[in-house]
Amino acid sequence: MQSNKLVMITLDGCRYDTAVEELGFLGHLVEKGQAARYQVLSELPSNSRPMYQVLLTGTPPYKSGIVSNLSVRLSGQESLFHRVREAGGVTAAAAYYWVSELYQHAPFSFQKDRIQHNSELPIQHGIFYFEDQYPDSHVFAEANYLLENYQPDFLYIHSMNIDDTGHKFTADSKEYRAAVDKADLILAECLPAWIRAGYQVIVTSDHGMDEFGHHGGTRTGVRQVPLFIISDKVVPQIVEEQIPELMVAPLACHLMNIESTRDMERLEFPGLRTSSESI
């Protein structure tokens, strides 16, 4: 029987080519026919807060009004969290505090908003960090706590160390590659148990990083990001066709068997299995 539960992971600042070369565990799953790999073209501007909004609502910045990292306010669009909660599901997130500011409270209170449990909010169970160097290992440990204790139908995980390292050392550095490799080690420890627990998995990024330690513009290294999918609803393969980042949110709705929002574009995604093809 197919699962509708989903873990969605954003490795902030992880560019496509480095992901292909350094995410060895995910590459192993692709090689053995357990996962699919796609290349995604991020929206513009290729900065974090606007791209979080793109990934979680499927709306471009000019429509959402979340146009820069300085857009500190609640989103005006329905997110994946809203849709899952409205469908009667449970939502959770272990993420950077900007995610809380988009869908929970704005501005974020470091004293009050780090841990949130409220069934009336879009993210019903949330653990939010507020320092870019906060260890990815801690973020995934907190995500595992949420998964084991609340069995969410949608769990969003957002880690920051790859982006933080890229800004400090650039995408051409051994430090940046090491940060991507460390994320892979964490994924290798977490994903098998989550898959056994019945979760589908999406691993992607908001934007990439360039050789100057920057992102935000139009250069290839900052716009091309990875998308790995582990799901019975998607054919395990490498797809060379570039996917618009606006397709990630409607894809997540499809995997969770919930209706897309009216702001999302129609899902056009290669490799989706039909009901008769499902395994």
Q: What is the tens place of the pLDDT at every residue in 73-97?
A: 999 999 999 999 999 999 999 999 9
Question: Minimal CA–CA distance to 80: which of 134, 155, 130, 151?
Answer: 155
111-153 pLDDT per residue, tens: 999 999 999 999 999 999 999 999 999 999 999 999 999 999 9
Q: Taking residues 258-273, what's their average pLDDT?
A: 94
pLDDT at residue 279 greater than cutoff 60: no
Task: Give the pLDDT confidence score for residue 79 in this predicted structure.
Answer: 98
Q: Is residue 1 part of a domain?
A: no
Spatial distance between the Cα atoms of 55 and 226, rounded to a whole number of angstroms: 13
Secondary structure class of 39 (helix, strand, coil): strand
Spatial distance between the Cα atoms of 158 and 51, rounded to a whole number of angstroms: 12
pLDDT at residue 157 greater than cutoff 70: yes
pLDDT at residue 207 greater than cutoff 80: yes
Q: Taking residues 26-51, what's their average pLDDT?
A: 98
Spatial distance between the Cα atoms of 169 and 71, rounded to a whole number of angstroms: 26
Secondary structure class of 98 (helix, strand, coil): helix
pLDDT at residue 274 greater than cutoff 80: no
Spatial distance between the Cα atoms of 90 and 100, rounded to a whole number of angstroms: 16
pLDDT at residue 39 greater than cutoff 60: yes
State both tokens at 37: 């790999």
**Terminal-residue alpha carbon distance, the chain:** 8
For 217, the domain range is 6-277
Task: Give the pLDDT confidence score for residue 1 in this predicted structure.
Answer: 44
Q: Is residue 273 part of a domain?
A: yes
What's the number of domains the chain is made of? 1
49-69 pLDDT per residue, tens: 999 999 999 999 999 999 999
State both tokens at 8: 């969605």
Q: Is residue 129 part of a domain?
A: yes
In 116-275, where does DSSP find H-type helix?
136-150, 161-169, 174-196, 220-223, 248-256
Q: Is residue 206 part of a domain?
A: yes
162-178 pLDDT per residue, tens: 999 999 999 999 999 99
Question: Minimal CA–CA distance to 261: which of 251, 272, 252, 250?
Answer: 250
* Residue type at position 228: F
Question: Minimal CA–CA distance to 186: which of 161, 154, 152?
Answer: 161
- CATH number of 186's domain: 3.40.720.10
Q: Is residue 241 part of a domain?
A: yes
Q: What is the mean pLDDT of the chain?
A: 96
Q: Is residue 204 part of a domain?
A: yes
Q: Is residue 15 part of a domain?
A: yes
Q: Is residue 263 part of a domain?
A: yes
Q: What percent of the chain has pLDDT over 90?
A: 96
pLDDT at residue 278 greater than cutoff 70: no
State both tokens at 77: 């669009």
